[in-house]
Structure 1
Amino acid sequence: MRVIIAGVGNVGFHLAKLLCQEGQDIVLIDQAADKLKMAANQVDAATIKGTATSYTVLEEAGVSEADLLIAVTSSEEVNITTAIIAKHLGAKRTIARISNTEFLYKKDKLNLKHLGIDDIISPESLAAREIKRLLKEVAITDSFDFEKGLLQLIGVNIEAKSPLIGKSMIEVAKINPDQSFMTVAILREDETIIPYGDTTFQEGDHVYFVAQPESVEKLLFLSGKKKEGVKSLMILGGSRVGFHAAKILSNKYNVKLIEKDSQKCFELADELPDAMVINGDGRNVELLEEESINEMDAFIAVTGDSETNIISCLVAKKLGVKKTIAMVENMDYIHLSQSIGVDTMINKKLIAANFIFRHVRQGEIVSITSIHGVNAEILEFEVQENSKITQHQLRNLQFPKSAIIGGVIRDGKGLTTPGNFRFQAKDRVVVLSKPECIKKVESYFT
């Protein structure tokens, strides 16, 4: 598959790394020679210096043979123009990164496909949707629903009082006789562990389970927590992410948004009638206390400064907030979230890159998501009639050790998959896989 990436910023570079692991034919275009040099040193990709709106540059990149062109420069105008030109020059599919969300809300009326843009993405809007997903349950650090909740991926921290501590996967199976959940990953410090029979739980582990919905409360108990919902939350920062988050959350939760720019506050108040907009510096502890931060179930820091977001979340935790989410620019920070006390760190560019990445997957993939801080991806495949996965029982499939099958959805019911499980056509299979073996996993479903 030939993929052209216009723009080698954080989104473009991360995409290039993911695609390189897939063995795709990648061409990178950017006007900055230093960015291209850095990328070329780390990924196996051809590089072209120049503007992506240039006919000559696109021709040199082989646009007429491109399966996908992704325009993710810092300029919305360049991205839109590049996608349109590339489509007319023969690119099979085009994706443009945009910042003007009117394009998202009005894309059907604008008929962008007719112009030559197959899909548009807004990192800010995607980040807001990610925040909404993360707020489903206070005690859960991450969650993802498969088939409207028939199976759920949940992440929890193992507390000191958890009865799981010291137990192996085999021992845990004995207290889970109905096999209503399965452990699919353990984040221990910076290491992502795919668990098998003799793997044991330790205090402080950040564990991910695939579970039937009725077992979520049981899992919270076993991890030393109790089920709690979110009712009230505070957002720090009236950035585009903050605005989008407040807009989609204020119809469900009591939302307070703090922004230090007074003019922006007036604009936000006009556009967010269901949220309370407060003018002030969110780094001021007295202000947070005046606004009853101790009564908040969640605190979301999305200012333009990563350090401010992290520190504000730590302060919020100290003041009694149960769940904190910080937006960071440096992707390396994401792995630190649990160890320093922030429940979840998100990076809007990483979210956007992972969203785009689903367009280059092989096999019958239904959905794909990344887990914050975990060196793995969750994929959902639909089994085809003659797929390799149908040929033997699970224990005899020689499934890659760097991946694990967490469950299957069959005939409207979510099931876990013991060793004697046999897959059938039309099954929807949930897989967690480390990046290096995703291509091998895909071969079981093609």
Structure 2
Amino acid sequence: MRVIIVGAGQVGSTIAANLDANHEVVVIDIDDDRVENLMYSYDVLAIEGNGAALPTLREADVERADMVIASTDDDETNIVACAAAKTVSDAFTVARVRGTTHLDTWQEAGGAFGVDFMVSTDLLAAETVARVIGLPAARDVDTFADGSVLMAEFSLPPESPLVDRTVAEADRFDEVTIAAVIREHEVIIPKGETTFAAGDDLVAIGSPEGIRAFAGELTPDQQGEGKDVVVVGGSEVALQTAVILEDRGLHPRLIERDPERARELAERLPHTTVLSSDATDREFLTREHIGDADVVVAALDSDEKTLLASLLADRIGVDRTIALVETAQYASLFEAVGVDAAINPRDATAEEIIRFSREGSTENVAIIDDDRAEVLEIEVDTESVLAGRPIRESAADLPESVTIGAITRDGRYIIPRGDTEVEVGDHVVLFAETRSIDAVAARV
């Protein structure tokens, strides 16, 4: 498949890295440094130029393209790039937009602007935040198989009862598979004798009920979904987060410093208490009992302010802090200094677009630990090495770094065991290191 990516920022580069091995990838960007870096980093053709201009698209041979992905940081540029591509090709077009204004128009019009698929960075980030809020102790949560399977990442705190216990000792949940243990950037495919250590990151795959029960075992002091949620900041992603929480029947509080923006948000959020104040004013936070909140979500206009608000919330006693981090490299730093979960909106966008970019039977994808691993949902067809065979037998034909975490059949959850026979049409959710993805895709 020939794929043209317009924009070589974090989203575009992540997509290029995921597609370059099996596809003919062309990346267009106006920044010559980005273009040069891509040429040396990946097996792609990189072109310096304006990807919304037809001459540049023609230089990229857009007439032969199967897919055009517009992922710059400018919404209008992305829409125009897709429209321009449609005038001279039959390529499937994907446009990334930041907010939801263009997305709402596109959806209401049944598809418009020459865009076949549109994805909103802010909306996806808000959905990710809402999933994390709904699962105690989780750093990231993704849904698979129409919501019947969850993948969750957990950081194991020193006080957890699982520390120094083996996987076999902790394996009390039939509908949960510990797919991987990430320890100091080493990916470990756990065996029964693998011992958990404080600070480990665990990747668990299972039914929603099983994952919730496992989360309770992992951190007994954090029980139940966060009900009292405070959103700090009045950005679009903060607004979308509050909207989702209202739809769940919650009544969040939102703090916005600008009185005019606070008034606008109050009009749009009928079930949210909007407070106009500085979220770093400790006296205000104490007066409004912010320290009693279950969760504080910080989504301010700079990573520095977001980190400050998150750490202050933690200091005054908030149970969990979630930060929206614009700079991807900062996410691990935020978590290292005490933020419970750091979410990068561009990562969520890259995952969604990669899902549409994958050929074959891949239904969904989640990127793990800065693209060192992935969780994939595969619909099994007759060509798959899994079809008609017990998992124990087909495992010999898969890389060692692959763990089958869950199976659904006709909407029913099936516990994957060595003697479980996989059938054509099953949805299999599996974990694989990125270096093994190509081999997995070719076999399943």
TM-score (norm: length of structure 1): 0.91
The corresponding residue for 1:11 is: 11
Structure 1 residue aligned with 2:319, among 317, 322, 335? 322
The corresponding residue for 1:67 is: 66
Q: How far did 1:137 drift?
A: 2.5
The corresponding residue for 2:190 is: 195
Q: How far did 1:149 drift?
A: 4.5
- Give the residue type in structure 2 aligned to 1:14: T
1:122 and 2:120 aligned: yes
Alignment of 1:203-214 (within 5 A): 203-214=198-209
What CA RMSD, in Å, does the superposition of the two structures yield over aligned residues?
2.3
1:290 and 2:321 aligned: no
Question: d(CA) in 2 for partners of 1:348 and 1:112?
Answer: 24
- Give the residue type in structure 2 aligned to 1:43: Y
Structure 2 residue aligned with 1:356, among 338, 346, 353? 353
CA 1:287 to 1:51, structure 2 compared with 1: closer, same or farther past 3 Å? same
Q: How far did 1:19 drift?
A: 2.1
Alignment of 1:6-405 (within 5 A): 6-20=6-20, 22-113=21-112, 115-173=113-171, 176=172, 179-216=174-211, 218-225=213-220, 226-251=222-247, 252-371=249-368, 375-390=372-387, 392-397=389-394, 398=396, 399-405=398-404
Question: d(CA) in 2 for partners of 1:106 and 1:427?
Answer: 36
Q: How far did 1:100 drift?
A: 5.0
367-376 vs 1-10, which moves further? 367-376
Maintained 8 Å contact 2:322/2:339: yes
CA 1:102 to 1:3, structure 2 compared with 1: closer, same or farther past 3 Å? same
Deviations 1:396-418 (A, max 9, x none): 32221222111111243322322
Q: How far did 1:171 drift?
A: 4.3
- How many matched pairs? 440
Question: d(CA) in 1 for partners of 2:14 and 2:157?
Answer: 33
User: What SS does the corresponding residue of 1:117 show, helix, strand or coil?
Assistant: coil
Unaligned ranges ≥5, structure 2 = none
98-107 vs 128-137, which moves further? 98-107
User: What SS does the corresponding residue of 2:151 show, helix, strand or coil?
Assistant: strand
Maintained 8 Å contact 2:99/2:121: no
Q: How far did 1:384 drift?
A: 1.3
421-430 vs 200-209, which moves further? 200-209
CA 1:213 to 1:260, structure 2 compared with 1: closer, same or farther past 3 Å? closer
Question: d(CA) in 1 for partners of 2:130 and 2:225?
Answer: 13
The corresponding residue for 1:428 is: 427
Maintained 8 Å contact 1:187/1:374: no
User: What SS does the corresponding residue of 1:389 show, helix, strand or coil?
Assistant: coil
User: What SS does the corresponding residue of 1:362 show, helix, strand or coil?
Assistant: coil
User: What SS does the corresponding residue of 1:357 show, helix, strand or coil?
Assistant: helix
Maintained 8 Å contact 1:256/1:276: yes
Question: d(CA) in 2 for partners of 1:181 and 1:402?
Answer: 18
Question: d(CA) in 2 for partners of 1:222 and 1:265?
Answer: 39
User: What SS does the corresponding residue of 1:406 show, helix, strand or coil?
Assistant: strand
412-421 vs 153-162, which moves further? 153-162
Question: d(CA) in 2 for partners of 1:372 and 1:337?
Answer: 14
Question: d(CA) in 2 for partners of 1:84 and 1:285?
Answer: 49
TM-score (norm: length of structure 2): 0.92
- Give the residue type in structure 1 aligned to 2:166: S
Question: d(CA) in 2 for partners of 1:217 and 1:277?
Answer: 31
User: What SS does the corresponding residue of 1:116 show, helix, strand or coil?
Assistant: coil
Q: How far did 1:299 drift?
A: 0.6
Q: How far did 1:168 drift?
A: 2.9
Deviations 1:321-380 (A, max 9, x none): 122111112212223344322111111122111211111213312222234667322211
Maintained 8 Å contact 1:362/1:442: no
Question: d(CA) in 2 for partners of 1:350 and 1:258?
Answer: 26
